[in-house]
Amino acid sequence: MPRFLIRRLLTLLPALWVILTLVFFMVRLAPGGPFDSERPLSAEAQKRIRAYYHLDASLGQQYIEYMAGVLRGDLGPSLRSSYSVNERIAMKLPGSVERGLYSLAFARLCGLGAGVFAATRPNTWRDHVPMSLAMCGICVPNIVLGPLLVLGFAIGLGWLPASGWDAPASRVLPVATLGTAYTAYIARLARGGMLEVMSQDFIRTARAKGLGEGAVVVRHAMRAGLQPVVTFLGPATAGLMSGSFVVETVFDIPGLGTEFVASALNRDYTMVLGTVLVYAVLILALNLVADLMQAWLDPRVRLGG
């Protein structure tokens, strides 16, 4: 395991460097600039602003200065705000992480339960009903599901708030919207993995020894059968953390997702790079955790087999 962990860690820094380098040059090559407006500034004002933010230097020099700041932990000033990029990320990131963790818990609880429930009685109503609901969850995007939930549970029935992230009740609809699609994927992966394991010889041996069906499923089948789910949890968690801008827009919740979209539209170079760096670190770290979990479950993975 230590060698497996070291090999994975050695791939993270080059990946982060490649991502930051590509985004750095792509945002500067895109048309428009951070100081464009309906009432353009004078040439002298443009010159002074660009000099203040060191945008008058060559692209190579800007790149070296930015990377040196990243190594110091300084992501620079926001070009369209009075706050620095570090301050804005510190304000927006906790809410997005909280929504992602709640949605992941919702997806794991409901998805694993539905998948295992369906696998214990294949090709019966206990299988068809949850898998049909899972297919609906995959087919309906969250940009459609969110307004439908608001229309039904907030406006129609009046049970839950339509927007915000203050009271516990206001968290229900955003979490359900963000986690439903991942719940469906986890349910189908759990069902497929469990069905494959339940036909193995060691499961028949456990049943022949007189173990009850519940003990066979929990103690023997789940560890091997849920490996596809563990593999999926890394990208799924990263998607829940980074893909919340639709939910934040629908439910009027401030977060890092909306900040990323706004900074891209405003050509706020440093804010775009800062949010991409945060998302990249989250995605790579969560994938690393998923790889470690899979290696713990399956020795063939950590041994390179």
Task: Indicate whether 35 belongs to any domain.
Answer: no
Band of pLDDT at residue 105, cut at 50, 70 and 90: confident
- The 10s digit of each residue's pLDDT in 8-33 is 777 778 888 888 889 888 888 877 76
Band of pLDDT at residue 300, cut at 50, 70 and 90: low
Separation between Cα atoms, residue 183 and residue 136, nearest integer Å: 11
Q: Comparing C-alpha atoms, which of 203, 202, 196 is closest to residue 217? A: 203
Separation between Cα atoms, residue 214 and residue 212, nearest integer Å: 5
Phi-psi region of 32 (alpha: psi -120 to 50; beta: other; left: phi over 0): left
Task: Indicate whether 279 belongs to any domain.
Answer: yes
Q: Identify the pLDDT of residue 297.
A: 62
Residue 280 lies in domain: 94-302
Separation between Cα atoms, residue 165 and residue 294, nearest integer Å: 34
- The 10s digit of each residue's pLDDT in 31-56 is 776 776 656 666 777 778 777 777 77
What is the total count of domains within the chain?
1
Band of pLDDT at residue 172, cut at 50, 70 and 90: confident
Task: Indicate whether 137 belongs to any domain.
Answer: yes
Task: Indicate whether 15 belongs to any domain.
Answer: no
- The 10s digit of each residue's pLDDT in 217-272 is 766 677 667 777 777 777 777 777 666 777 887 887 877 877 888 888 888 888 88
Task: Indicate whether 202 belongs to any domain.
Answer: yes
Instruction: Enter the tokens of residue 168.
Output: 């516990």
- The 10s digit of each residue's pLDDT in 208-218 is 777 776 777 76
Task: Indicate whether 108 belongs to any domain.
Answer: yes
State the average pLDDT for the chain.
79
Task: Indicate whether 258 belongs to any domain.
Answer: yes
Task: Indicate whether 107 belongs to any domain.
Answer: yes
Q: What is the CATH number of the domain that holds 241?
A: 1.10.3720.10
